[in-house]
Structure 1
Amino acid sequence: MSIAMVRGQELSDTFWALDDLTFSVEQGESIGLMGLNGSGKSTLLKLINGVMRPDRGTVLTRGRIAGLIATGAGFHPQLTGRENIFLNAAILGMSEKETRAKFDDIVEFADIGKFLETPVGTYSSGMFSRLGFAVAIHTDSDIFLMDEVLAVGDRPFKRKCLARMDEIRKSGRTMFYVSHAPGSVRKMCDRVLVLEKGRLAFDGPTEDGIKYLKYDDGDVTSEEHLEGEEEDLGADV
């Protein structure tokens, strides 16, 4: 007999990470996904990406999907960075010919130096993010997903990420961006979805979504601090 049974506690329970969630997105929209930790944002990205399937309901997407929804996703720890570029690119739908054509650009963007020939199992979370983002950002896609990868990495790399994401937004690709930073969401997104305990609590203009969450200028995250630095430097992000 288990301790839970002795205490009279329930032995099982059902938890819905997302519940009764319905929305549609037009091609070329930049969507900010916001909400408290545990509200279902990352789960929603995984459903859109196809790595998870809903228990009920449907998720309909059109075109190639790329992005970074988890640090190190799609990497094999025993393979080198070089080998994982080809592996991860193949998972994202790129042919070997495409990957070879973009290989030098991917390596240059990741900027991991001699560690390119080292098994990625030895990488730090920042190096994982560098390589994963570099592959994803060079994948020709119709939908781009990003889950707070900018919270990992040094300032120069964050600047590169922000600049590339802005290019994606301006290129007409559909983008989903998870962030707690109002400043970057204002800059990157024209619509915000706010999740609360797995339900859609708000769907509308970016500024209204930020006000709904009661974020204000006194609650500044490290991302927004970085953006302030970029503006002081005159960065065009």
Structure 2
Amino acid sequence: MAVAMVKGRNLSDTFSALEDVSFTVQQGESIGLMGLNGSGKSTLLKLINGVMKPDTGTVLTRGRIAGLIATGAGFHPQLTGRENVFLNAAILGMTEAETNRKFDSIVEFADIGRFLETPVGNYSSGMFARLGFAVAIHVDSDIFLADEVLAVGDRPFKRKCMEKMQEIRESGRTLVYVSHAAGSVRKMCDRVIVLEKGRVGFDGPVDEGIRYVKYDDDNQRAEDQEDDELGSDV
């Protein structure tokens, strides 16, 4: 019998980013969360993660949650990358002993070199994403949330992130992946939920969801073609 890992019921929040959103995610399911900018995707992840609380409705989750829901979230700008690894890991529920054990692997994945000893206030958005994702991916979570994780960073790093998320998917953990990128969603997800102006506009098969949310401009088609190529490499 499948176990519900995430359930949102009649969710709404103060700024009307979400209005009457309801859905259930089963254990081991990989969900692509899609929609135009401002449709409420990031707000929904923050509600699932507990960073925000809904004004009305309930969010029920089962197990440990980790992920990258905002570039630079959980980092102190005056602390070094090394210090922020321990800070961010603690926020995500890792013990100091666990972080020490995984530290070398985290640093190797982030691949920020000498900047590990630099205050993160001097980091670019790409470096924030590298370090944040590196910490989050090493948490032994039951639910992994990823908000536009491939929007920053170079192509090799994006591919490395996709490979790690594929490992999460294959391990039977639950994945909620926010993306505009059709190729990545096809590769990673079993189902697509599309938000439109804070409401669920579509919830169903991946290809149908991608067609539902498809943009009609040439730039978007070019981005999808590039992403399809990235997805096929993973």
TM-score > 0.5 by shorter chain: yes
2:226 aligned residue: 225
Give how far 1:15 is off. Answer: 3.8
1:9 aligned residue: none
Closer, same or farther: CA 142–230 of 1 in aligned 2, 3 Å:
closer
Residue 109 in structure 1 maps to residue 133 in structure 2? no
Residue 134 in structure 1 maps to residue 134 in structure 2? yes
2 CA distance for matches of 1:160 and 1:168? Answer: 13
Tell me, yes or no, if the aligned pair for 1:150 and 1:223 is still in contact at 8 Å. no
Higher strand share: 2
Calculate the TM-score normalised by the size of structure 2: 0.89
1:36 aligned residue: 36
1:118 aligned residue: 118
1 CA distance for matches of 2:227 and 2:36? Answer: 22
Larger Rg: 1
The secondary structure found in structure 1 opposite 2:22 is coil
Count, aligned residues: 220
Calculate the TM-score normalised by the size of structure 1: 0.88
Give how far 1:177 is off. Answer: 0.5
The secondary structure found in structure 1 opposite 2:28 is coil
2 CA distance for matches of 1:34 and 1:118? Answer: 35
Give how far 1:110 is off. Answer: 0.3
Amino acid at match of 1:119: P
The secondary structure found in structure 1 opposite 2:221 is coil
2 CA distance for matches of 1:17 and 1:158? Answer: 28
Tell me, yes or no, if the aligned pair for 2:181 and 2:227 is still in contact at 8 Å. no
Matches within 5 A, 1:12-91: 15-91=15-91
2 CA distance for matches of 1:224 and 1:60? Answer: 37
Amino acid at match of 1:140: D
Identical positions, percent: 77
1:165 aligned residue: 165
Tell me, yes or no, if the aligned pair for 1:72 and 1:129 is still in contact at 8 Å. yes
Residue 190 in structure 1 maps to residue 190 in structure 2? yes
Give how far 1:229 is off. Answer: 5.5
Tell me, yes or no, if the aligned pair for 1:63 and 1:141 is still in contact at 8 Å. yes
Tell me, yes or no, if the aligned pair for 2:67 and 2:146 is still in contact at 8 Å. yes
Gaps of 5+ in 1: 1-13
1 CA distance for matches of 2:74 and 2:120? Answer: 11
Give how far 1:220 is off. Answer: 3.0
1 CA distance for matches of 2:184 and 2:43? Answer: 21
Give how far 1:216 is off. Answer: 7.8
The secondary structure found in structure 2 opposite 1:160 is helix
Give how far 1:207 is off. Answer: 1.0
Tell me, yes or no, if the aligned pair for 1:181 and 1:220 is still in contact at 8 Å. no
Tell me, yes or no, if the aligned pair for 1:182 and 1:215 is still in contact at 8 Å. no
Amino acid at match of 1:54: P
Closer, same or farther: CA 223–210 of 1 in aligned 2, 3 Å:
closer
The secondary structure found in structure 1 opposite 2:21 is coil
Amino acid at match of 1:228: E
2:96 aligned residue: 96
Q: CA RMSD in A?
A: 1.7
Tell me, yes or no, if the aligned pair for 2:159 and 2:230 is still in contact at 8 Å. no
CA displacement 1:113-146 (0-9 Å, x = unmatched)? 0110111001111100000000001110000000
The secondary structure found in structure 2 opposite 1:32 is strand
Tell me, yes or no, if the aligned pair for 2:183 and 2:227 is still in contact at 8 Å. no
Tell me, yes or no, if the aligned pair for 1:184 and 1:223 is still in contact at 8 Å. no
Give how far 1:149 is off. Answer: 1.8
Closer, same or farther: CA 226–23 of 1 in aligned 2, 3 Å:
closer
CA displacement 1:48-79 (0-9 Å, x = unmatched)? 01000000111010111000000000000010
CA displacement 1:174-227 (0-9 Å, x = unmatched)? 000011111111111010001010001111111111122245896435465155
